[in-house]
Structure 1
Amino acid sequence: MHFGLTDEQRMIIDTTRAFVEAELYPHEAAVERTGHLPMEVIREVQAKAIAAGLYAANMPEEVGGAGLDTLTWLLYERELGRANYALHWTCVARPSNILLAGNAEQRERYLYPCIKGEKWDCLAMTEPGAGSDLRGMTASARRDGGDWVLNGTKHFISHIDIADFAIVFMASGEEDTPRGKKKLITAFFVDKGTPGFHVRDGYRNVSHRGYSNGVLAFDNCRIPDAQVLGEVHKGFEVANAWLGATRLQVAATCLGRADRALGHAVQYAAEREQFGQTIGKFQGVSFKLADMAMELKAAELLTWDAAWRFDAGCVTEADMSMAKLKASEVLAMVADEAIQIHGGMGLMEDLPLERIWRDARVERIWEGTSEIQRHIISRQLLRAVGG
Structure 2
Amino acid sequence: MHFGLSEEQQLIVDTTRAFVENELYPHEGEVERTGHLRRELVEEIKAKAIAAGLYAANMPADVGGAGLDTLTWLLYEKELGRANYALHWTCVARPSNILLAGTAEQREKYLFPCIRGEKSDCLAMTEPGAGSDLRGMKASAVQDGSDWVLNGTKHFISHADIADFAIVFMASGEEESPRGKRKKITAFFVDKGTPGFTVRDGYRNVSHRGYTNSVLEFDDCRLPAAQVLGEVHKGFEVANSWLGATRLQVGATCLGRAERALNHAVEYAAQREQFGQQIGKFQGVSFKLADMATELKAAELMVMEAGWKYDQGTVTDQDMAMAKLKATEMLAFVADEAIQIHGGMGLMDDLPLERIWRDARVERIWEGTSEIQRHIISRALLRAVGG
User: Does the TM-score normalized on the shorter chain lie above 0.5?
Assistant: yes
Pairwise TM-score range, normalised by the shorter structure: over 0.9
The answer as to 2:152 corresponding to 1:152 is yes
Give distance in 1, aligned partners of 2:44 and 2:177. 52
Taking the aligned partners of 1:39 and 1:225, their CA distance within structure 2 comes to 33
- Partner Cα separation in structure 1 for residue 154 and residue 234 of structure 2: 19
CA distances 1:262-316 after superposition (whole Å, capped 9, x unpaired) = 0000000011111111111110000000000000000000001100110000100
Matched residue, 1:57: 57
CA distance in 2 between counterparts of 1:156 and 1:103 reads 28
**Separation in structure 2 between the aligned mates of residue 381 and residue 45 of structure 1, nearest angstrom:** 45
1:356-375 to 2 correspondence within 5 Å?
356-375=356-375
Give the equivalent residue in structure 2 for 1:104.
104
Amino acid at match of 1:121: D
Aligned ranges for residues 229-308 of structure 1 at < 5 Å?
229-308=229-308
**Deviation (angstroms), 1:233:** 0.3
Any residues of structure 2 matched to 1:1-387 within 5 Å, and which?
A: 1-387=1-387
Q: Shift of residue 2 of structure 1?
A: 1.3
Percent identical residues: 83
Q: CA deviation at 1:177?
A: 1.6
Deviations 1:144-201 (A, max 9, x none): 0110000000000000011000000000011112221111000000000000001110
Q: Distance in 2 between matches of 1:130 and 1:164?
A: 24
Letter in 2 for 1:93: A
User: Per-residue deviation at 1:345?
Assistant: 0.2
The CA RMSD over aligned residues, in Å, is 0.4
Whole-Å Cα distance in 1 between the matches of residues 71 and 45 of structure 2? 25
Unaligned runs of 5+ in 2: none
- Give the whole-Å Cα distance in 2 for the aligned partners of 1:16 and 1:102: 29
Q: Quick one: distance in 2 between partners of 1:171 and 1:272?
A: 57
Query: What amino acid is aligned across from residue 161 of structure 1 in structure 2?
Result: D
| Secondary structure of 1:182's aligned partner | strand
Whichever residue aligns with residue 311 of structure 1, its letter is D
Q: Secondary structure at the match of 1:53?
A: coil
Whole-Å Cα distance in 2 between the matches of residues 132 and 178 of structure 1? 20
TM-score normalised by L of structure 1: 1.00
1:317 deviation in Å? 0.3
Output one character per residue of 1:329-361: Cα deviation in whole Å (capped at 9) or x when no partner.
000000000000000000000000000000000
Tell me how far apart the structure 1 counterparts of residues 179 and 119 of structure 2 sit (CA, whole Å).
42
1:116-171 per-position Cα deviation (integer Å, ceiling 9, x unaligned): 00000000000001111000000000000110000000000000011000000000
Distance 1:84 1:176 in 2: 45
Distance of 1:98 and 1:173 partners within structure 2? 22
The 3-state SS of whatever aligns with 2:244 is: coil
- Tell me the TM-score normalised to structure 2 length: 1.00
Moved over 2 A (4+): none
Q: Secondary structure at the match of 2:221?
A: strand
Aligned pairs, number: 387
- The code of the aligned residue for 1:35 comes to G
Question: SS of 2:269's equivalent?
Answer: helix
Q: Which amino acid is the alignment partner of residue 37 of structure 2?
A: L
Amino acid at match of 1:115: I
Deviations 1:45-98 (A, max 9, x none): 000000000000000000000000000000000000000000000000000000
Report the residue type matching 2:67 in the other structure: G
SS of the equivalent of 1:152 reads strand
1:188 partner SS: strand
Comparing 171-180 with 17-26, greater Cα deviation is found at 171-180
